[in-house]
Amino acid sequence: MALAPEDIIAFRAEAAVAAMHLFAEQGYDAVTMRAVAAELGVSAMTPYRYLANKDELFALVRAEAFRRFAERLEAAIDTDDAPTRKLIVLKRAYVKFALDQPDAYRIMFEVRTPEPSDREPREVAVQSRRAFACLHRTVAEAVAAGELDGDPLTIAHLAWASVHGLVSLHLAGRLGSGRTLAQLAAIDFELPAFARPKAKTTTKTKQRSRR
Q: What is the pTM of this model?
A: 0.83
Q: 159-205: per-residue pLDDT in tens?
A: 999 899 888 888 888 876 556 777 777 776 666 667 766 655 555 55
Number of domains in the chain: 1
Residues 25/110, Cβ–Cβ less than 8 Å: no
Q: What is the pLDDT of residue 1?
A: 59
On whether residue 204 sits in a domain, the answer given is no
pLDDT at 173: 81
Inside any domain, residue 156: yes
- In a domain, residue 189? The reply is yes
Per-residue pLDDT tens for 109-129?
Answer: 999 988 877 788 999 999 999
The Cα–Cα gap between 39 and 15 comes to: 9
**140 inside domain:** yes
Q: Does residue 205 lie in a domain region?
A: no
- Domain ranges, residue 60: 5-197
Does residue 208 form part of some domain?
Answer: no
End-to-end CA distance of the chain: 89
The domain spanning residue 166 has which CATH number? 1.10.357.10
